[in-house]
Chain A
Amino acid sequence: MKSESTLKNTISGSLSQREASVFNWAPQKQDQFVFASMRVLSSFVILILVALMVMLIKTAWPVLVDQGTNFFTQSIWNPVDEEFSALPLIYGTMITTFIAVIIAAPISIMVALFVNEVLTPKLAKLVGLFVEMIAAVPSIVFGLWGIFYLGPFIKNTLAPFLKEHFGYLPLFQGPSFGIGVLTASLILSVMITPTITSICREVFKTVPAMRKEGALGLGATKFEMMLLTIVRPSFSGIVGAIVLGTGRALGETMAVAMVIGNQPQIKASLFAPAATMASIIANEYAEADSEMHIAALCGVGLVLFVLTLIVNLVARSIVWNYNRSSK
């Protein structure tokens, strides 16, 4: 049987083998080495972003030089004649995003209120899960659904209805083929709803229960309570959520590319096909063989990058300010 002291000797023996003298620098050296390595790897991640920007600018440069300001002012995107202007694409991105946000923002805010304030905790968890599941559905699946279900639905049902009742507006004139700005916008609005909803829910949760009960105690209806104690004080947080949703809509590619028709044109009608910056890249990049075409697509990518960067930084600063002020 091993006595305790023998055991202890084995342990201290194997320990002291490793450390010849009692105190020396070794562990600190190890720490310095690991810390330095982690710093290098972190710098590497920063470098990825820098490289991304540099390569995008470098590749897009020829088209920016060649086309000059035309790149942003003309309305023709024609790869065959090497005439490249991003304007119709920027327009396509803007109009689809705009309509999507107009539809999604109020609905998302209401859903956030509904889930947080009306539903019982269990139901809230379930509905909250459903909403977040929407964000998990791959955009290719939305695209597929858009081509085979939503497109025909718009062509056969929604478009005739809109034409009949609002046909005097230029927005709703012209033939509908099922694919076009309206279809893309509707799909986008579904896709950005979970983003806006979940951030709004976080923001609404920061309202102290006391304030809500206080409002109800003063005789406010639940509607008035929600408006006065939740929605109004959360205004900047809501704006931040909407801006983040906008950022998501700007960059969404596949679902849009599959239902928008990919025709770089500016038309008043929402039924007309168009193209967004992301959809044109998805559609043409693999087949682009001339240098200028690649450069033009990279230029479009650059514009898209800068746009989403600005939108995300704005959202970040709004949400950040909001967090700071609510603490």
Chain B
Amino acid sequence: MREWHLKYRKLKNIVFHMALVFAACAVIIPLFMVIQYVMIKGFNSLNWDFFTQIPKPVGEVGGGMKHAIIGTFIIVGLAGSFAIPLGIICGAYLSEYGRGKIAALLRLSTDVLTGIPSIVIGIFAYLLVVVPLKQFSTLAGALALSIIILPVVIRSTEEILKLVPRHIREAGLALGLPRWKMIFFIVIKGSRSGLITGVILAISRAAGETAPLLFTSFGNMYYSTSLTNPIASLPVQIYTYAISPFDDWQRQAWAGALVLIILVLGLNLISRLIMNRQQLGFGRRK
């Protein structure tokens, strides 16, 4: 009887381990399938024109997404130049002064902003910028993306600055520095590699966002750098082409997806590399 029970328990153990392996496969296989599919389809469709041409008129084969690639850089760059300094300052406020009502409210707001679906943020940017300007614009798209970047930067800044030991801050003050110089030129400057990691992660997340751009920066079949006019972006262009009935456009959508995935996963991996190197540094410090 006991013998039988033990065998039963061992069997359960084996079955469970098999289930674990199965689960891991179930998660990783889709990732590989997506990447493989994008690679094959994307590389087949990718050519030099893709980077140097703007779309041809409907029905004509050829053309590229130069305008959308540049558009994405403009929107993300604009969003970043607003959200990154603001996010770092707010993160520093939380880590260096983090007590009191404003800090508590800021922490709550940051959490809430992180959780808001990006499409809702798109609505907000629409109401705030598109409605008064009466047209879709780069500015509106950049505002939407900056609100997506902002809470990520705030959170990561706070976490990273909290890693700086207290005696480093005291040493800065003991040199006779005003507190703000100590915060900005010793604590923040000394943590720059960690902060860059957080910023790159936030940027990579924003670069792949489509939903909040659909009705803010909208899209454009022509090359444009105007801040107050609609502008194309890589994700929106992919979307437009993907749901179109034209084979050539669908082909270009795959090429676009390949470029986008290389951009986003590349940024993500870079930030992880920086993070790994930095953790080694902290290990040595102890």
Residue positions of A touching B, CB distance < 8 A: 27-28, 30-31, 34-35, 38-39, 41-46, 48-49, 51-52, 55-56, 59, 106-108, 110-111, 113-115, 118, 127, 129-131, 133-134, 136-145, 147-149, 190, 193, 197, 221-224, 226, 247, 250-254, 257-258, 278, 281-282, 285-286, 297-298, 301, 304-305, 308-309, 311-313, 316
Contact = CB atoms under 8 A, between A and B. Distances in A.
Query: Which one of B10, B120, B136 has the highest number of Cβ atoms from chain A below 10 Å of its Cβ?
Result: B120
Interface string B11-29: 0110011011101101110
A141 B260 CA distance: 8
Contacts of A41: 86, 89-90, 93
A93 B28 CA distance: 25
Contacts of A48: 109, 113, 147, 150
A126 to B, nearest CB: 10
Given A59-B127, A223-B13, A251 B116 contact: yes
B102 A297 contact: no
Interface string B148-161: 00100010000000
B180 interface: yes
Contacts of A51: 124, 128
B248 interface: no
Contacts, number: 244
Interface string B25-39: 011101101110110
B243 interface: yes
B117 A308 contact: yes
Contact of A282 (B13, B17, B214, B268): B214
A81 B112 CA distance: 35
B194 to A, nearest CB: 18
B34 A137 contact: yes
A305 B118 CA distance: 10
B119 A253 contact: yes
B24 A141 contact: no
Nearest to A315: B115
A46 B115 CA distance: 15
B206 to A, nearest CB: 10
A224 B12 CA distance: 9
B214 A42 contact: no
A298 B89 CA distance: 32
Nearest to B127: A55
Contacts of B179: 31, 34-35
B42 to A, nearest CB: 10
Query: Which one of B93, B115, B261 has the highest number of Cβ atoms from chain A below 10 Å of its Cβ?
Result: B115
Interface of B: 9-10, 12-13, 16-17, 19-21, 23-24, 26-28, 30-31, 33-35, 37-38, 41, 86, 89-90, 92-94, 97, 102-103, 105-106, 109-124, 126-128, 136, 147, 150, 154, 178-180, 204-205, 207-211, 214-215, 218, 235, 238-239, 242-243, 250, 253-254, 257, 260-261, 264-265, 268, 272
B23 A42 contact: no
Contacts of A278: 117, 119, 211
Query: Which one of B17, B20, B103, B235 has the highest number of Cβ atoms from chain A below 10 Å of its Cβ?
Result: B20
Given A28-B178, A56-B124, 5 more contacts: A35-B179, A52-B120, A278-B117, A286-B215, A312-B112
A41 B87 CA distance: 9
Contact of B16 (A52, A106, A129, A223): A223
Contacts of A141: 34, 38, 208, 257, 260-261
A46 B112 CA distance: 10
Query: Which one of B92, B128, B147, B215 has the highest number of Cβ atoms from chain A below 10 Å of its Cβ?
Result: B215
Contacts of A113: 20
B260 A45 contact: no
Contacts of A27: 178
Query: Which are the 5 A-B pairs with shortest beta-carbon distances?
Result: A251-B117, A138-B208, A312-B115, A110-B23, A34-B180
A247 B31 contact: no
Given A114-B21, A118-B17, A247-B115, A107 B109 contact: no
B242 A107 contact: no
